[in-house]
Amino acid sequence: MTLKVYADRMSQPSRAIIIFCKVNGIDFEEVRIDLVKRQHRSPEFKEINPMGQVPAVVDGRYKLFESHAILSYLSCAFPGIPDHWYPADLFTRAKIQSILDWHHTNLRRGAATFVLNRALGPALGLPLNPQAANEAEIILRASLSKIESLWLKGNAKFLLGNFQPSIADLSLVCEIMQLEVVDEKDRDRILGPHPMILQWIENVKSATSPHFEEVHGILYKVKARLHSRLANAKPNDTHLSMKPNPKL
Amino acid sequence: MTLKVYADRMSQPSRAIIIFCKVNGIDFEEVRIDLVKRQHRSPEFKEINPMGQVPAVVDGRYKLFESHAILSYLSCAFPGIPDHWYPADLFTRAKIQSILDWHHTNLRRGAATFVLNRALGPALGLPLNPQAANEAEIILRASLSKIESLWLKGNAKFLLGNFQPSIADLSLVCEIMQLEVVDEKDRDRILGPHPMILQWIENVKSATSPHFEEVHGILYKVKARLHSRLANAKPNDTHLSMKPNPKL
């Protein structure tokens, strides 16, 4: 039975799962759960994931949510997945788990909160909150510095000095890619001081080509749409009520 | 070489690691990192964990931080740890990882933020913030409801209907135990509606006795001290500047 991946490509952990499946030749069906249409809150989807969040997978009778758990599950459940994604070596695997745990309360907290309050909120029916965006930017900047100084030191190609990417590389880079939807000045201000992060993103893109760019294509479309709407909004209108757009 | 566990028993993930080691007979040295004295920010400790947080472990030449990663590492690295803590079965293990991932941004976010802003902040040089406490209580209540309805349904003894505890039971129950330091009225209001949660806490206590109660002993002492100071404070003084207390 084909693996089902319930996802919205606007969600960064959804993209990580889809890219992982495509790169590793996993036979899967992508089931679109439209966040703007609030399909993740529907009773039908809550039968799949009672937490009402994407991504989630169904593998035969087995259901699983939380993207990090899904990535490690897929790494072990499907034959032929190269070891570098989730190394069997106890010590390396625990270091990867440590990065993934850290991600939840640092990089993800900073990046997701920043993007939501700087650009994406209105598409989800939430107001933009400049103060929350500023606070999140501090966490985001500190997180990027930590990644660079601890896990990419010595111009490592991938996290922990590995020569090939792990599920942590994929998860964290998909998170940072969410910054594509904010204004370029904001993105440059935040990522510009981190050349090793920028090189690392390129390394992950390259290692997962052409799937990485294909799956991220939606971000560029949404960015163009958001910016044209913001440009047409009144100067102080931080609550853009955007109608759900089936193309978003 | 003996495992070193860098911890402050006031930190809920620190307690989970210490209890795990004691219950499983792991030979370890507990190295106290006093959060009130800000020892976690010292250059010496940052050599152990550059993130400046407890817990962290050093196992020979190997260093690791993030409590969930540590618990899964210890489960695999030491001989004779019973399988139920971190089952080798792929499907059960992935479900446990899913709960641990969920914990970061739900139960932990709610409980830790609530306790910090309702009681513990001043001991760490932070003001009490009633609005932040109220917002966190909403997340905490929702998290408790989810645990009860999804993972403890059918009066399960432990999460996922297991008959023995996993590292997820230990981690989540240590989190909820942090509520011991808030006012009993607050604790009763939050936990009272969840008899299955209360029973589950008792089950984890019982399965890890006498270590669970011994390691949690500090909470009751701190609770008494905080409440006596709060009772002596002016009615609107939400920023109690408590001097670091070596006994805290």
List chain B residues with CB under 8 Å of A11.
none
User: DSSP letter at B148?
Assistant: I
CB B19 within 8 A of CB B231: no
CB contact under 8 A, A102 and B73: no
**CB contact, 8 Å: B66 with chain A?**
yes
C-alpha closest to that of B114 among B132, B101, B98, B93: B132
User: DSSP letter at B151?
Assistant: I
Which among A65, A102, A150 has the least Cβ separation from residue B66? A102
- The pLDDT profile of chain B, 248 residues, written as one tens digit per residue, is 899 999 999 999 999 999 999 999 999 999 999 999 999 999 999 999 999 999 999 999 999 999 999 999 999 999 999 999 999 999 999 999 999 999 999 999 999 999 999 999 988 889 999 999 999 999 999 999 999 999 998 879 999 999 999 999 999 999 999 999 999 999 999 999 999 999 999 999 999 999 999 999 999 898 888 777 767 765 544 444 333 333 33
The tokens for B106 are: 């739900």
Give the pLDDT confidence score for residue A233 in this predicted structure: 65
Give the pLDDT confidence score for residue A179 in this predicted structure: 97
Are A107 and A129 part of one and the same domain?
yes
Q: Alpha-carbon distance A218 to B229, whole Å?
A: 55
- Alpha-carbon distance B234 to nearest alpha carbon in chain A (angstroms): 31
Range of the domain at A141: 90-232
C-alpha closest to that of A180 among A229, A221, A123: A221
Answer yes or no: is A246 within a domain: no
Residues linked to residue B6 through DSSP beta bridges, in sequence order: B31, B56
Are B193 and B126 part of one and the same domain?
yes
List chain B residues with CB under 8 Å of A68.
97, 101
Are B69 and B127 part of one and the same domain?
no
CB contact under 8 A, B97 and A68: yes
Q: Which tens digits make up the pLDDT trace of B45-55?
A: 999 999 999 99
List chain B residues with CB under 8 Å of A64.
94-95, 98
CB contact under 8 A, A68 and B101: yes
Sequence-distant (≥ 6) Cβ neighbours of residue B214 within 8 angstroms: none
Are A97 and A200 part of one and the same domain?
yes
List chain B residues with CB under 8 Å of A48.
none
Q: Which tens digits make up the pLDDT trace of B7-33?
A: 999 999 999 999 999 999 999 999 999
Which among A70, A90, A97 has the least Cβ separation from residue B68? A97
The CATH number of the domain holding residue A177 is 1.20.1050.10
Segment (H or E) for A30: strand A28-32
Cα B240 → chain centroid: 24
- Helices within B195-241 (DSSP H only): 195-207, 211-232
Answer yes or no: is B237 within a domain: no
Name residues of chain A where pLDDT drops below 50: 236-248
Tally of domains in chain B? 2
Are A134 and A53 part of one and the same domain?
no
CB contact under 8 A, B101 and A150: no
Residues linked to residue A7 through DSSP beta bridges, in sequence order: A32
Answer yes or no: is A216 within a domain: yes
Are A188 and A228 part of one and the same domain?
yes
Are A136 and A17 part of one and the same domain?
no
Are A76 and A98 part of one and the same domain?
no
Give the pLDDT confidence score for residue A231 in this predicted structure: 72
Are A102 and A63 part of one and the same domain?
no
List chain A residues with CB under 8 Å of B150.
50
The tokens for A111 are: 């990046």
Answer yes or no: is A17 within a domain: yes
Which among B64, B77, B90 has the least Cβ separation from residue A98? B64
- Residue length, chain B? 248
Residues linked to residue A31 through DSSP beta bridges, in sequence order: A6
Q: Alpha-carbon distance A60 to A39, whole Å?
A: 22
Q: Alpha-carbon distance A189 to A185, whole Å?
A: 6
Strand order of the β-sheet with A28-32 is A28-32, A3-7, A56-59, A62-65
Which among B72, B108, B149 has the least Cβ separation from residue A97? B72
The CATH number of the domain holding residue A23 is 3.40.30.10
Give the pLDDT confidence score for residue A234 in this predicted structure: 53
**CB contact, 8 Å: A50 with chain B?**
yes
CB B111 within 8 A of CB B140: yes
Are B62 and B128 part of one and the same domain?
no
CB B215 within 8 A of CB B15: yes
- Between the alpha carbon of residue A172 and those of residues A16, A59, A99, B53, B154, the distances in Å are 9, 24, 9, 21, 37
Q: Alpha-carbon distance A220 to B100, whole Å?
A: 33
Structure ipTM? 0.92
List chain B residues with CB under 8 Å of A51.
102, 146
By C-alpha distance, the chain A residue nearest B149 is A50
Give the pLDDT confidence score for residue B95 in this predicted structure: 98
The tokens for B183 are: 């006012």
Answer yes or no: is A174 within a domain: yes
**CB contact, 8 Å: A135 with chain B?**
no
- Alpha-carbon distance B72 to nearest alpha carbon in chain A (angstroms): 7
**CB contact, 8 Å: A183 with chain B?**
no
List chain A residues with CB under 8 Å of B66.
97-98, 101-102
Are B228 and B110 part of one and the same domain?
yes
Answer yes or no: is A13 within a domain: yes
CB B46 within 8 A of CB B19: no
CB contact under 8 A, A98 and B65: yes
Q: Which of residues 90-129 of A touch B (CB under 8 A)?
A: 90-91, 94-95, 97-98, 100-102, 104-105, 108
Q: Alpha-carbon distance B2 to B78, whole Å?
A: 12
Last residue of a domain, one of A85, A118, A149: A85
Q: Alpha-carbon distance A85 to A167, whole Å?
A: 5
- Alpha-carbon distance B94 to nearest alpha carbon in chain A (angstroms): 6
Matching residue, tokens 């994407």: A54
Q: Which of B3, B61, B93, B104 to mutate to test the interface with A (most CBs of A within 10 A)?
A: B104
Are A74 and A116 part of one and the same domain?
no
Last residue of a domain, one of B36, B52, B82: B82
Matching residue, tokens 């500023």: A134
Answer yes or no: is B122 within a domain: yes
List chain B residues with CB under 8 Å of A100.
69, 101
Answer yes or no: is B224 within a domain: yes
List chain A residues with CB under 8 Å of B68.
97, 101
C-alpha closest to that of A52 among A61, A60, A43: A43
What single-letter amino acid sits at A39? Q
CB contact under 8 A, B69 and A105: no
